[in-house]
Each structure stands twice: as structure tokens, then as C-alpha cells.
Amino acid sequence: MAEAAKGRGARTNATGRYETNAVEAFDDGWTAEDATPPPLRTTLTAERARVLITKNTSPDVGFDRSINPYKGCEHGCIYCYARPSHAWMGLSPGLDFESRIFFKPEAARLLEQELSARRYVCKRIHIGGNTDPYQPVEREQKITRGILEVMQRFNQPFSIITKSGLITRDLDILGPMGREGLATAFVSITTLDRGLARAMEPRASTPARRLDAIRALADVGVPVGVGVAPVIPGLNDHEMESILEAAAKAGAATAMYVTLRLPLEIKDLFREWLADARPDRAARVMSLIRQTRGGRDYDADWAQRMKGTGPVAELIATRFKAAVKRYGLEGERHILDVSRFRVPRDARAQMELFD
């Protein structure tokens, strides 16, 4: 059985699927009494991005424009659907994903440039659709902070999602923009069990800190929702009602959920983690997951990939709908005001230099 690296979610560091040479972990006879390798450390690499705002055409995603300040995520959530993206860079979706982080130092400048373009048409931009914009490295890098400052200058409406209490650092921007109909936030809470959260999301904020973040956002006027994501049948689905109730008491006005997705390398990473962290229920959890995916580990069909199908998925949906109504989380998704977008005079003057 692979042992967990302290503070990390994945147990191994399998080679990315696009590499010609594969690397596998194996038992070469070393034991705990022998010298151990140095602890796994996070390395940061600056990415020279040319474009900041990315677009998607996925019909089951509620936005078509997004910004991700970072690639990879220190939170180390074992279920993270973004893990396979590290394979595109010749890295492992396992430990590399949570320890080799890429950041965009020119993010604020790129955003100002793109928002100032003559052909730019204002629409909502979602921040953090892939990896968390408030992961631990943000404390020093402040890439997300710089992006929000540009958003505020341009009155550019945005939504943001996180599972970090660090979002409260930026209440001075989020508060005014939220009250003006220019910003909304979602906080993801997967479990209220500190032990499960520590094992499953090792470097994310504690569940209590996330509830505090909802409360703080609501107190300053930011329309805030809670994301029960992912719902994992047999592992955390029994907490759905408790999470929604706690979030509603903290000030959340809306809610959403996503059933666990296991595309590409995630299915093997999750199975490995489950066998190590929850061996007593691993077989049942995987059985229930397959029951939501037509008997497979995953079905990528856009019509059902977020929620799943079958009796287990239907029961989760029914319970969610009932709990949302019970705890007053039926508020409609906040419609952001795109009419107030303006290119500031100083940004317009700079762009004229390139004409």
C-alpha cells in the first residue's frame, strides 16, 4: 500500500499519459527504519501566458469565459477534476499536480489589455473554474488579488469559487462590487467532518473556516452560495443536508452540487486514495459511484456528467432539492450587471499607444 506524503492528497506520482517513458513506484526493499527521502516540497514556475481569459463551449458549464491564475493546486483534493491537465505538460496528475504549481505573473497586465481591446464585449467572467484562485501560494503571489483590482477598475462583472478562507482577505473589493451587482461568490464545502476533510482535501481550509468565509462575504453584501461538490455516494452524501443547513445559517442564499467525476487518471488516483484512507468502505463507495455512471467509473456525456444517472443519482438530486427548499437556498442565481463596464481613461490612453 502506498503511504501518504504528509499534507498531500495523492499517494503516488504516476507518469502523465502523453509521456513515452513510464515511471512506476515499486517496493525495492526500503523500510521505515532506512533513510527516508526528503519531504515533498512545492515548486513555483512562472508561466508566460499570452492570453488570460479562456473560453469554453461546454453546454453543461454555466459560463463561457474564465480565468485561472494558477495551474496545479496545493490543496491536494484527491477528487479534483483538473488533475489530468498536468499531463499536458509532461507532469503527473498525482503529486506533481499538487506540488509543481504554475502561476501567471503578468495576469493583471494581460487582463487590462484584453478588457481594453476595441472588440471586447462585456460578459461575466468566472474565476477559479479549474484550480482554486485562493490556494496557499496566493498568500505570497497575490495573482488573484491583482486580477480583482483590474476587475474593479473596469467594473467587469465576475463570479468566483473557492474552498479557502483566504477569500476574506479581498472583502474590500468583493464587498463593494457585490453590493453593486458586479460580483458573486461560491464557497465549496465537501464535508463538515474535519478528519475526512484533512484526508481528502489536505491543504484546503477547514470546513469551519469555509463557513466563516460564507458569513463574512454575506455580511459585506456579496451574494454568496455554497457548492456541495463533489457528492461522493457512500462517503459524504449523508452530510448533504447538514452542509446546506450550516451554509444557510452562515448566510448563503443559493446552492449547487456536483456528483463525483472520475475522468482519465483521476479514477486510479481516487481508487488508490480510497483503499488507503477508507479501506473499510472502498468497495461500496466504488460500487455506488458506478451506479451513478451506468456501471462504469465515469461517463463523459455532457447531458449527465455533472449529476449522473440511475436510482442513486436520482435520490441525491431529490434530497438536494428538498434540502434547498427546507433551508431557504432557492434564491435565483444572481444576474450581474454588464451595463456598467467601462475602460478607465488611463487604460484607454495606454492602449492608444499600440494603435
pLDDT in tens, 62-95: 778 999 999 999 999 999 999 999 998 999 999 9
- In this structure, the dihedral spanned by the alpha carbons of residues 125, 130, 135 and 139, taken in order and rounded to 10 degrees, is -40
Residues forming a β-bridge with 45: 102
Instruction: Read off the pLDDT of residues 328-354 as tens digits, 9 standing for 90 and up.
Output: 999 777 789 999 999 998 877 565 555
Residue for grid cell 473556516: 209
Q: Which position has the higher pLDDT, 19 or 76?
A: 76
pLDDT (0 to 100) of residue 35: 45
24 pLDDT tier (thresholds 50, 70, 90)? very low
* Model pLDDT, residue 78: 96
pLDDT tens-digit series, residues 176-186? 999 999 999 99
The whole-number pLDDT of residue 332 equals 72
pLDDT over 90 (residue 355) = no
Partner residues linked to 224 by β-bridges = 185
User: What per-residue confidence (pLDDT) applies to 303?
Assistant: 77
pLDDT, one tens digit per residue, over 26-38 is: 343 334 554 444 5
Pairing of strands 70-71, 100-103: antiparallel
Q: List the single range of 8-17, 112-121, 318-327 with lowest mean pLDDT.
A: 8-17
pTM recorded for the entire structure: 0.87
- Looking at every residue in the chain, the average pLDDT score rounds to 89
In angstroms, how far is CA 229 from the centroid of its own chain? 9
Does the pLDDT value for residue 21 go beyond 80? no
Confidence category of residue 39, pLDDT binned at 50, 70, 90: low
Biggest CA-to-CA distance, the chain:
67
277 closest CA partner among 9, 6, 7: 9
Q: Given this model, what pLDDT does residue 11 score?
A: 67
Cα torsion at 241, 242, 245, 248 (round to 10°)? -110
Q: pLDDT-based confidence at 18, cuts 50/70/90? A: low
| Other residues' Cβ atoms within 10 Å of the Cβ of residue 34 | 7
| Res 334: pLDDT | 73
Cell of 296: 462504469
Confidence of residue 146 (pLDDT cuts 50, 70, 90): very high
Work out the average pLDDT over 208-221: 97
* Residue 263 near residue 289 (C-beta atoms within 8 A): no
Q: Hey, which bits of the chain come out as E strands?
A: 43-46, 54-55, 65-67, 70-71, 100-103, 125-127, 158-162, 183-188, 224-231, 254-259
